[in-house]
Amino acid sequence: MGIKSKILLFCFIIALLTCTLLIVRKSGEQGMEKAALSLDQPPMARIAHIEKLGKKNAIAFYEWGTNPQYFGIARLKKTIFGWHFTGGSTSAEPKEHKFGWSFYGLKGDVPNYAGMYSGKIYDPEIASMWMKSRSSGKEQPCRIIEYGAGERFWFYLSEQEEGPDTVILARSQTGEILEQYPSE
């Protein structure tokens, strides 16, 4: 192999590495947002939060619309070509309640999780959200994410599928139950 061929091979390898780095860089958070916003939602859609679930899965929480306003999730999967939208759900915000709620099945799509509960929080008095099992009485805390101008939503990733045994509790700073779903 001559010197000219070695230089050409070296330049080709450098160009290939540069392209690979650019693709990897674009497949980060910006790639996830772009994939989530690739939905057929109006241009007023905005990402509230992206939760990575391992190296190849993520869930983007987003809202869109003005009246009514909708809140939803977009399930994202990473391939060698970047992040891609693989499914999701959205629902109108039930503002007559103190918080919104929905369940999205993840079984078979996201390792280690069978489903996810989530919803927007409308009552500023809500300090924590909990998942409770009626049969065992055991409570698990939900994550609360603040975004935008003081807006908040909650979510809980579950290893089990949705069941009639589950109750969602909204608690005040003092622990008082402000609202629960389903109501008893």
For residue 14, the 8-state DSSP code is H
Tens-digit pLDDT profile for residues 14-49:
666 555 545 554 456 566 566 555 555 556 678 899
**What contacts 162, CB < 8 A, 6 or more positions away?**
103, 105, 115, 117
Count of domains observed in the chain: 1
pLDDT > 90: what percent of the chain? 34
Contact predicate 169/101, CB 8 Å? no
Tens-digit pLDDT profile for residues 171-183:
999 999 999 998 7
Tokens matching residue 46: 């905005």
Written as one letter, the residue type at 124 is: P
Is it the case that residue 76 has pLDDT exceeding 80? yes
Q: Pick the range with the lowest mean pLDDT from 21-30, 72-81, 95-104, 145-154.
A: 21-30
Instruction: Please state, as a whole number, how many other Cβ atoms lie within 10 Å of the Cβ of residue 81.
Output: 9
Tens-digit pLDDT profile for residues 135-164:
888 999 999 999 988 999 999 998 877 777
24 compared with 56, residue with greater pLDDT? 56
Mean pLDDT of the chain: 82
- For residues 35-66, b (16+ Cβ closer than 10 Å) or e, as one string? bbbebebeeebebbebbebeeebbbbbbbbee
**Cα angle 63-177-142, degrees, rounded to a multiple of 5:** 45
Q: Name the residue range of residue 103's domain.
A: 3-181
What's the rounded Cα separation, in Å, for the pair 117 and 105? Answer: 9
